[in-house]
Amino acid sequence: MAAPSIQKRRKRAGTLDRIDADPYHHLAGGFGPQTPLHIQRATPVTRRSPGSPFSTESWGLWTDIKSLRWVVVPSSSLKLLLIGALLWANWKLLAPWVAQELNNPFEPLLFVSHRIPDSPPEDPRYQKGCFDLVFIAYYIIFWSFIRQSFTIYIARPAGHWFGIKKMTKLDRFGEQTYAVLYFGVMGSWGLRIMSQLPTWWYRTEYFWIDYPHWDMKPELKRYYLMQAAYWCQQLLVLLLGLEKPRKDYKELVAHHYVTLWLIGWSYLINLTRIGNAVYLSMDIPDIFLGLSKVMNYIQYDKSKVCVFTILVGTWTYFRHYLNIVMLWSVWTQFDLMPETSKRWEAKDGVWMVWWMKYQIFVPILLLQFLNLFWYFLILRIACRALHDIGTSDDRSDDEDDEDDESEKND
């Protein structure tokens, strides 16, 4: 009976080993040893065939709209953005002549809506409303255009300049440079917003004191909805299979669902302060996660070690310590809110019946479990790096050959 159990243990260990060495795992694969740039085959970078489902070539605007390929085709997403912007501009120009009393119906596409009428002009405040969905929809298109334009027209040429010659590695390099850009901008924006709130720096009692926090500054509302649009766009790409799926597809989908659960509920029940804190705890370490992968792809080894060390520290602090601080706040400080807020009354902006405590606690806890899984992999990668310095890895060549062959067949 002892032999089978040993075999099972070995099998489980082998599974973890495969994750660590898997070139298609979104986290572990990005830290894997790379084929030295100076000995890569000088295969020219080729565009994928227009007939490929992963091509970024347009099949025509209407076809791209019907197939939802505008998510990965920057020319089509740009046309959709321009249609909305031109409709807004035309109304703005013509309304003074033909419809002075009518509000611009296209304004919710580009700008936040639902201003509180009696809020002062020097300090306007906004509430949530149905037009927020229109704003999110437009900015899903916006993030699709920004992401694809950056990766195709900026990151790919930059990767080629650094010596990366394989299309698959150029794609990954583009994804990570875009991640550094996005999380750098949104992380800085989130810091600025938190600095204007009483919750700075993670003063968690103000998540609950004076609840409900239903009136938002325009900057906070814009930040929140643009984050929601980004995560919706990322989930859309995964679910529609508009990019070649990675082997940790289920983990990524689970992460996106939990994130959108947190975004949706916190916005609906007027907990944007805790939502901002969660966003910040996720975005800051993701800057260094993406940057460390970029350094690995271009083989800046000393920079990679430095950035990876910072990643371990920021990931530990932001994604675990601060996450636990927020969980503790939900569990122990929930009752700091006024007694009058502990009821479900949408018209008054209060939703905090007793079971809402668990509705808030559970998704943050699930996020912690997902973070622990990736944290475990990061620590294993760090331990292996200390033991395997100087070793080579032939797997990268095999991976490139495999992907090049698949590109030829597309």
Q: What is the pLDDT of residues 339-385, one digit of tens each?
A: 988 888 888 888 888 899 999 999 999 999 989 988 998 888 888 77
Backbone angles phi, psi at 111, to 5 degrees: -130, 155
Among candidate residues 360, 201, 375, the one with its CA nearest the CA of residue 285: 375
Contacts of 243 (CB under 8 A, 6+ apart): 54, 72, 237
pLDDT for residue 54 is more than 70: no
Contact between 236 and 62 under an 8 Å Cβ cutoff? The reply is no
- Rounded Cα distance, 210 and 50, in Å: 56
378: which 2 tokens? 């990061």
The number of folded domains in the chain is 1
The domain of 291 spans 147-390
Render pLDDT for 154-172 as a digit per residue (tens, 0 to 9). Answer: 999 999 999 888 888 888 8
- HSE-CB of 154 using CA atoms within 13 angstroms: 13
Specify the residue for token string 């995560």: 231
Q: Report yes or no on 115 lying in a domain.
A: no
Each residue of 57-94: pLDDT tens digit? 888 889 989 888 899 899 999 999 999 999 999 998 88
- Residue 33 lies inside a defined structural domain of this protein: no
Gap between the Cα atoms of 307 and 80, Å rounded: 38
Is 82 within the bounds of a domain?
Answer: no
Percent of the chain, pLDDT > 70?
79
pLDDT band at 257 (very low <50, low <70, confident <90, very high): confident
Whether residue 398 lies inside any domain: the answer is no
Q: Is 389 exposed, middle or buried (0-12, 13-18, 19+ CB in 10 A)?
A: exposed
Residue 217 is encoded by which pair of tokens? 């500054």
Q: What are the phi and psi torsion angles at 179 (to 5°)?
A: -60, -40
Residue 400 lies in a domain: no
CA distance 322 to 201: 10
Averaged pLDDT for residues 136-163: 94
Question: Is the per-residue pLDDT at 274 higher than 60?
Answer: yes
Whether residue 52 lies inside any domain: the answer is: no
Q: Which residues contact 320 (CB under 8 A, 6 or more apart)?
A: 368, 371, 372, 375
- What's the mean pLDDT in 282-304? 92
Tokens of 69: 């390929």
The region that residue 270 occupies, defined by phi over 0 for left and psi between -120 and 50 for alpha, beta otherwise, is left
Q: Is residue 63 part of a domain?
A: no
- 344 in a domain, yes or no? yes
Please state, in angstroms and rounded to a whole number, the distance separating the CA atoms of residues 221 and 305: 38
